[in-house]
């Protein structure tokens, strides 16, 4: 066995007997300063170890989402009816998708941007509506001319009032006019308003009766509305819940539709029986917008090339008066790429405080013009998108799209629109989180302790020897 004496011979830290050591005030002061310095430097080193360092590089886009990019949006239009609001997408490669409905939802809203009901039903997209063949046959006028003075009175006299809101300059209104008047004449003959009183067909010239058409939220011509008397009266002012008709516009179809509307109503009762109409035109009649505004929300997928997302009033069988179209809007959300949940975004903020600042630059922005000012204004947003990837030390990859946006308002030569022109950068920003070694942290802590201890010892030795020298000099002078 190795003796204890031999073991003691390898002791690097040999002890001096306590009786041979001497304490001093200068040594005590330096010891306190050294301890405080050690604690301070240890705290700085610990903070540096716990903090996150990153490195940034710019590389060619290598997105995992390949050739397509998702755009999420939530935009409110106080003066655009859901009846005609359309979301279209186009790009420089020739892609042109009109009236996207599968991933888009619409809600009628009031002027305060509050939803006034459930999701607006856009119904099936109709590619062709039937009209009467063009002919020179005299058709006369079978419908009743309505205006702001007699509209409420006539609507209360009949169980059902079907109205054609039209404009004389509109091509589709002129296509509808012959069949409408023929159908109205046939219905008048079958159901005399003076004797029967269950149904009557009317017409409103929206170029003359602007206020009446605005009150009924008419934005496209011709718009056919079905008003029912009775349980659908909302208040004493005579406002009615009503339906829009989107079916064929030939005489036979119109007459059949009117007969289906009047069939459930008994001769001695002028109250409409809700939900009793026939099935042949079931898809052609839907609730009309209860308010003039519309909130459009959802998402679209676009190719990663320069393109446009356009929101406008669109219909293949209606005309629009651009001078009264108001495309004011408030953007609640407009973002690119997959949504990052709140927890992950919070972690990203800890790594890079500026991440997410330009993630949704348009959010909360309002582009409003006076609803009474029919300035025919188109609003264009020019957006440049850059992808940012953050590689965590845990090898978790987080993708984010940031963008800059510039907007302009200009007078439109036709129907105004809101256009989002987007362009994606071919480069992307790669941010890598650099992990720190625990062994490196321990090494630095040891270096701090040893370094401060050594420097304090040197300073104490210098100070002690200086004081001794001063005392010797003073003693020499005394003798």
Catalytic amino acids?
Answer: 170
How big is the chain, counted in residues? 479
Displacement of CA 193 from its chain's centroid (Å): 50
Tokens of 8: 């003691």
Nearest residue to 397 via CA among 407, 386, 389, 409: 389
> Which ranges in 11-132 belong to alpha helices (H)?
25-50
Q: Please tell me the distance from the alpha carbon of residue 140 to that of residue 457, in angstroms, as a whole number.
A: 116
d(CA 412, CA 147) in angstroms, rounded, equals: 31
Question: What span, in angstroms and rounded, lies between the C-alpha atoms of 290 and 50?
Answer: 58
Measured distance CA(205)–CA(192) in Å, rounded: 24
Q: What whole-number distance in Å separates Cα of residue 301 and Cα of residue 247? A: 31
User: What is the token pair recorded at 63?
Assistant: 């997105």
Each as own residue / partner, the long-range contacts of residues 404-408 (CB below 8 Å, 24 or more positions apart, any chain) are 404/358, 404/361, 405/361, 405/362, 405/381, 406/381, 406/382, 407/365, 407/367, 407/379, 407/380, 407/381, 407/382, 408/379, 408/380, 408/382
Angstrom distance (rounded) from CA 156 to CA 169: 30
Terminal-to-terminal C-alpha distance of the chain: 61
Assigned token pair, 298: 């959802």
């Amino acid at each position: 066995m190795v003796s204890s004496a031999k073991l003691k011979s390898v002791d690097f830290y040999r002890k001096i007997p306590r009786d041979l050591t001497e304490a001093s005030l200068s040594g005590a002061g330096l010891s306190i300063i050294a301890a405080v310095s050690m604690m301070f430097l240890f705290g700085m080193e610990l903070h540096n170890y716990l903090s996150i360092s990153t490195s940034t590089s710019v590389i060619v886009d290598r997105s995992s989402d390949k050739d397509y990019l998702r755009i999420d949006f939530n935009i409110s239009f106080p003066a655009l009816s859901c009846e005609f609001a359309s979301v279209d997408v186009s790009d420089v490669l020739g892609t042109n998708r009109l009236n996207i409905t599968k991933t888009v939802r619409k809600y009628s809203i009031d002027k305060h941007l509050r939803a006034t009901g459930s999701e607006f039903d856009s119904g099936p997209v109709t590619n062709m509506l039937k009209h009467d063949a063009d002919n020179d046959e005299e058709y006369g006028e079978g419908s009743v001319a309505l205006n702001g003075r007699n509209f409420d009175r006539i609507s209360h006299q009949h169980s059902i009032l079907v109205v054609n809101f039209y404009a004389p300059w509109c091509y589709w209104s002129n296509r509808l006019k012959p069949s409408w008047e023929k159908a109205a004449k046939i219905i008048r003959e079958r159901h005399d308003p003076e004797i029967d009183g269950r149904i009557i067909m009317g017409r409103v010239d929206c170029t003359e009766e602007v206020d009446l058409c605005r009150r009924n939220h008419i934005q496209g011509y011709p718009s056919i509305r079905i008003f029912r008397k009775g349980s659908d009266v909302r208040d004493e002012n005579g406002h009615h819940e009503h339906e829009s008709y989107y079916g064929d516009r030939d005489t036979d179809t119109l007459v059949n539709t009117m007969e289906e509307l009047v069939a459930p109503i008994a001769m001695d009762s002028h109250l409409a029986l809700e939900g009793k109409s026939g099935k042949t035109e079931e898809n052609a009649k839907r609730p009309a917008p209860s308010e003039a505004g519309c909130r459009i929300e959802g998402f679209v997928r676009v190719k990663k090339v320069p393109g446009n997302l356009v929101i406008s009033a669109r219909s293949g069988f209606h005309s629009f008066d651009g001078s009264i179209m108001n495309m004011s809007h408030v953007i609640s959300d407009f973002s690119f790429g997959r949504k990052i949940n709140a927890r992950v975004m919070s972690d990203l903020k800890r790594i890079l405080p500026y991440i997410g600042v330009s993630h949704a630059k348009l959010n909360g922005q309002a582009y409003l013009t006076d609803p009474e000012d029919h300035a025919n204004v188109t609003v264009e947003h020019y957006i440049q998108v850059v992808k940012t990837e953050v590689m965590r030390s845990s090898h978790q990859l987080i993708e984010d799209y940031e963008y800059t946006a510039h907007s302009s308002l200009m007078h439109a030569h036709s129907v105004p629109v809101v256009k989002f022109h987007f362009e994606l950068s071919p480069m992307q920003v790669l941010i890598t989180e650099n992990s720190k070694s625990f062994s490196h942290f321990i090494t630095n802590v040891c270096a701090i302790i040893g370094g401060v201890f050594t420097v304090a010892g040197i300073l104490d030795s210098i100070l002690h020897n200086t004081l001794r020298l001063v005392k010797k000099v003073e003693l020499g002078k005394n003798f």
